[in-house]
Amino acid sequence: MRHRRFFTVLAALALSAAMVLSVGAVSLEQVEVKAPVKNVILLIPDGMSTDVVTLARWYQGGGALNLDSMASGLVRTYSSDAPIADSAPAGTAMATGHKSHTGYVGVLPDVNSMPGLDPLEAGTARAPVASILEAARLEGKATGVIATSEIMHATPADFTAHYASRKDYDILSKQQVYQGVDVVLGAGSGYLAGQGRADGNDLIEVIQENYQYVTTPAGMEAVTSGKLWGMFAETALAYEFDRDPKSEPSLAQMTEKAIELLSQDEDGFFLMVEGSKIDWAAHANDPIGLISDCLAFDRAVGVALDFAKADGNTLVIAATDHGNSGVSIGSAATTGDYDKQPLSNFIDPLKKATLTGEGLEKVLNAERSNVVEVMSRYFGIDDLTDEEIEAIKNTENGSMNYTVGPMIARRADIGFTTGGHTGEDVTLYVYAPANISQLTGTVENTDIALYMAKAFGVDLDETTERLFVPARKAVEAIGGTISFDRSDKGNPILTISKGDVEVKMPVYTNIAYVNGEKTLLDGVTVFDGVGTNYVPQSAIDLLK
C-alpha cells in the first residue's frame, strides 16, 4: 500500500509539472504584441543538433554560450510529406510559414501528407509563397542575407527565391540578384559570373550596377553606407578553423557589418544569418568542423544580441532547420563505462586538432607522402593505422572531412548514427524585446515565420497575393492576352498585353518593359517550371 501511495504521489507531481509547463508555454496564438518590432534578426545554424551545442560548450571550457540565455522551446522540423526534412523545405517553412517538399525552395509542395497538416488546396502545387524578407521589403524595411555556403544554396535561397529545385543555381541566383535585398554577404561568385552559367548572364555585372561589390574583408569594412554585395569565395567559405582572415570575414564580422548598414534604415530591417557548414560537417561525421562552425555561429549570435539589447526594439531568433548525423557525446565504445569516462576523454583528442579535414587538403603535398607528419602536427594523431594512411592518400579533394572526421570522432568517443539528416525536435532560441512575448514551448517550424510576421505586423498571405498572381488567369480576366517565349531557354520572356499596352517581362527578374520603356516591379516574375507564370499585381496594373 505504501508503494502504491508513493507512485500515486509521483504521478500527481508529474501531472502538476506538466500542467505548469503547459500553462507557461506561449504559443503563437498567445503571443502578445504591444507594438510592432522595428527589426528582426533570424540566425540559422544549419543542421545543428543539440549535442553539437553541448560539445562546443565543453570544448570552450564549459562556460555559457551566447545561445544559452535565449533557449525557449523546441521546434518540430518535419516537411510536408516526410518526418525528416531536407534543408530546402525546412528553410521554406521558416521563411514563408508553409511546409514544403524535398528540394523545393519558396514554393508549396505537391501534397501535404504528414499527420495534422491540412490538405493542399487544389491547383496550388508548386505555387510560390512570399517570404518574411519579401514582406519586410514591401513594408519599406531594409533586408539582408548572410551565409557561409554559396548564397544560392537552399537556406538563403528560401528567403530570396522561388523554384521547385534547389539544384538550379542559375534560376535561384538570378532571382536573388533582382530581389532588391540591401545586403548580401557570403560566397558563390563562381555561379554568378557569365562563364559559370548555362544562361550566359553575367550577374556580377548586374550586381555592380546596383551594389558596392566587394571580395575581401577589407573591402567590406570600407563600406559604411548604402547597398553591399560581398562574395568572398567562388564556392563556399572555409570552416572557421581553416579561415584565412585576410581573404574571408568571419560570420560574426559579416553579421556586424550587415547590422551596421541595415540599421541606418529608419523603417527597420530584416536579416537572415546562416551558419551553413555546421550541416556539412555533420554529414561528414566530423566533430572538428562541427565545433569550429558552431562556435563561429555563436559569436554571430553574440553580435546580434548585443545590438538587440542596446536597441530595445529588435527581435532575435535562432533555430536550426533540422538535426543531422545523430551526433552524441559517447559512442558504442562507451556502452559499458559511459559514467566513468572523464570529460578529458571526449575533449582532449578534439583540442589537438587545429584544422578540419577540409583544411588538411591544403597542407598535404601533391603526392600525399606527408600524411603521417601532417596528421601528427595538425591533429595530434600519432597512431594512424596503415588503413587510415591509405584512406587519407586515396580521398578525393573536397571529401577529406568524410575521411578524417570519423578518425577523430573514434578517438574522442563521439558517436554518429548516420551521415544524413535526422528528425528530432531541435532547440528554439528567442530574445524578445519588451513589446512582444517570447515564443516558448514546442512549436512548428512554420510558426517561426508567422511569429516574425506577427512581430512586424505584416501578413504573409497578403504579401503572397500581392507578389505572386497567376498571370494567365489575371490577364485574361481583364480582357488581355498573354504569351510565353522560351526560345532562349535560359532567359524566357513573358509578354502580357491589352489594347495599346504591351508589357514584356524577363522571367526571374523584377524588370518590365512597357511599350519598350524599362520599369521595375515590386517583385520578381516566376515560372513554376511546369506551366504557370506568376507575376506581381503591379505588373497586371500596368495594363489597367
Please indicate if the annotation marks 46 as binding a ligand: yes
CB atoms within 10 A of CB 28: 17
Enclosing H/E stretch for 90: helix 87-96
339 labelled as ligand-binding? Answer: no
DSSP state letter for 489: T
φ and ψ at residue 253, rounded to 5 degrees: -65, -40
CA dist list (Å): 196 to 234, 237, 247, 466: 10, 18, 22, 33
Residue 162 assigned ligand-binding role: no
CA distance 37 to 456: 6
First vs last C-alpha separation in the chain? 83
Q: How far apart are CA 479 and CA 1, in angstroms?
A: 83
Is 343 within 8 Å of 372 (Cβ atoms)?
no
On whether 421 is known to bind a ligand per the annotation, the reply is yes
| Count of other CB atoms within 10 angstroms of residue 7 | 10
Contact 172, 166 (CB under 8 A): yes
Give the Å distances, CA to CA, from 266 to 40, 141, 216, 263, 390: 14, 8, 28, 7, 59
Provide the grid cell at 276. Answer: 551553413
Q: In what order do the strands lie in the sheet with 269-275?
A: 212-214, 228-231, 183-187, 142-150, 269-275, 39-45, 314-319, 426-431, 71-76, 441-444
Residue 488 annotated in ligand binding: no
Q: Choose among 269, 324, 247: nearest CA to 293.
A: 324
| 321 annotated ligand-binding residue | yes
Residue of 72, 79, 87, 325 marked active site = 87
State the Cα–Cα distance between residues 112 and 124, nearest whole angstrom. Answer: 12
Q: Is 33 helix (H, G, I), strand (E, B) or coil?
A: strand
Task: Say how far apart CA 319 and CA 312 lie, in whole Å.
Answer: 21
Q: Tell me how long the chain is.
A: 544
- In three-state form (DSSP H/G/I as H, E/B as E, the rest C), the secondary structure along 401-430 is HHHHHHHHHHHHCEECCCCCEECCCEEEEE
Residue 384 CA to residue 371 CA, distance in Å, equals 9
State yes or no: is 87 an active-site residue: yes
Do the annotations mark residue 153 as ligand-binding?
Answer: yes
Are 389 and 382 spatial neighbours (Cβ–Cβ below 8 Å)? no
Q: Would you list which residues are annotated within the binding site?
A: 46, 153, 155, 274, 279, 283, 321-322, 421
Q: Annotated catalytic sites, by residue?
A: 87
Q: Would you list which residues are annotated within the binding site for Zn(2+)?
A: 46, 279, 283, 321-322, 421
Q: Would you list which residues are annotated within the binding site for Mg(2+)?
A: 46, 153, 155, 274
